[in-house]
């Protein structure tokens, strides 16, 4: 029969593993969103012309991607998932 401390230790281990998996996912998605924002921001300078988003929307979308990517990276760094 398991004691309470063993149960608590197993639960802490599961929570730590979950937090690590989620932090890795947040870092990865943050990098993807940031790269997408940089692509839309500098697509003209790379010689890529995008027909669909008009110029101001291109920059606005790039700004949102950079902000959200930064937020995801920050959230992965903080690992504050259990509140």
pLDDT tens per residue, range 6-47 = 888 988 899 999 999 999 999 999 999 999 999 999 988 998
- The alpha carbons of the chain give a radius of gyration, in whole angstroms, of 20
Does the pLDDT value for residue 82 go beyond 90? Answer: no
Using CA atoms in the order 38, 39, 44, 47, what is the torsion angle rounded to 10 degrees? 130
Using CA atoms in the order 59, 78, 76, 12, what is the torsion angle rounded to 10 degrees? -160
Domain range for 50: 34-83
Domain presence at residue 72: yes
Domain presence at residue 53: yes
Number of domains comprising the chain: 1
Mean pLDDT on 56-81:
93
Which candidate, 77, 2, 70, 83, places its Cα nearest to that of 38?
70
pLDDT value at residue 62? 94
Q: Count CB atoms within 10 A of the CB of residue 33.
A: 20
What pTM did the predictor assign?
Answer: 0.82
Per-residue pLDDT band for 2 (boundaries 50, 70, 90) equals low
Domain presence at residue 67: yes
pLDDT value at residue 1? 55
């Amino acid at each position: 029969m398991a004691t309470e401390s063993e149960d608590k230790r197993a639960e802490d281990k599961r929570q730590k593993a979950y937090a690590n998996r989620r932090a890795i996912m947040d870092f990865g998605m943050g990098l993807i969103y940031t790269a997408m924002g940089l692509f839309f921001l500098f697509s003209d300078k790379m010689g890529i012309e995008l027909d669909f988003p008009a110029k101001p929307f291109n920059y606005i979308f790039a700004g949102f991607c950079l902000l959200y990517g930064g937020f995801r990276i920050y959230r992965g760094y903080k690992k504050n998932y259990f509140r």
